[in-house]
């Protein structure tokens, strides 16, 4: 005997599918968006819904606009910064040398005791 479910391909409680069973769908409109790579996506919106100015491209993830000749620019992503890079932004080389000299002096005093 083959193991399996006799109700294959449906879920429990699922009725017949079709427009007449679910009611009429809301009127829709399709809007075209183009990304910087030239991909076109056409999501559908309800007629009374507010249409966004930008839509993320499902192929490459870049933002897309409604003007095919002038798509929005790709967002600029900041590279990962190390702890040292943040410290160098806050302190000058002279500050670093002063802090190092102070730390070395404390270390030398501890060793003499």
Element (H, E) at 89: helix 83-90
CA neighbours closer than 13 Å in the CB half-sphere of residue 26:
9
Q: Is 54 left (phi over 0), alpha (psi -120 to 50) or beta?
A: beta
**Is residue 23 over pLDDT 80?**
no
Q: What CATH number has the domain bearing residue 41?
A: 2.20.28.270
Binding site residues, as ranges?
35, 39, 57, 60
What would the pLDDT profile of 27-81 be if each residue is shown by its tens digit? 999 999 999 999 999 999 999 999 999 999 999 999 999 999 999 998 888 889 9
**Is residue 15 over pLDDT 80?**
no
Question: What average pLDDT is seen over the chain?
Answer: 85
State residue 25's pLDDT score: 79
| Boundaries of domain holding 41 | 28-65
Residue 58 lies in a domain: yes
Binding site residues for Zn(2+), as ranges?
35, 39, 57, 60
**Is residue 97 over pLDDT 70?**
yes
Q: Considering the entire predicted model, what is its pTM?
A: 0.53
Residue 59 lies in a domain: yes
Place of tokens 């559908």: 44
Report d(CA 24, CA 37) in Å as an integer.
Answer: 37
Number of domains in the chain: 2
* pLDDT above 70: percentage of residues in the chain: 79
Residue 10 lies in a domain: no
CB atoms near residue 55 (< 10 Å):
21
Looking at the fold, whether 34 and 60 belong to one and the same domain comes out as yes
């Amino acid at each position: 005997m083959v193991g399996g479910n006799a109700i294959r391909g449906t879920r429990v409680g699922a009725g017949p599918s079709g427009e007449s069973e679910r009611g009429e769908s809301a009127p829709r409109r399709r809007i075209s968006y183009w990304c910087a790579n030239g991909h076109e996506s056409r999501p559908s919106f309800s007629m009374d819904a507010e249409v966004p100015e930008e839509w993320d491209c499902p192929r490459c993830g870049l933002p897309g606009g409604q003007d095919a000749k002038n798509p929005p620019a790709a967002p600029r992503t900041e590279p990962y910064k190390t702890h040292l890079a943040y410290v160098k932004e806050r302190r000058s080389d002279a500050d670093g040398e002063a802090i190092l000299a102070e730390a070395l002096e404390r270390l030398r005093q501890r060793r003499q005791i």
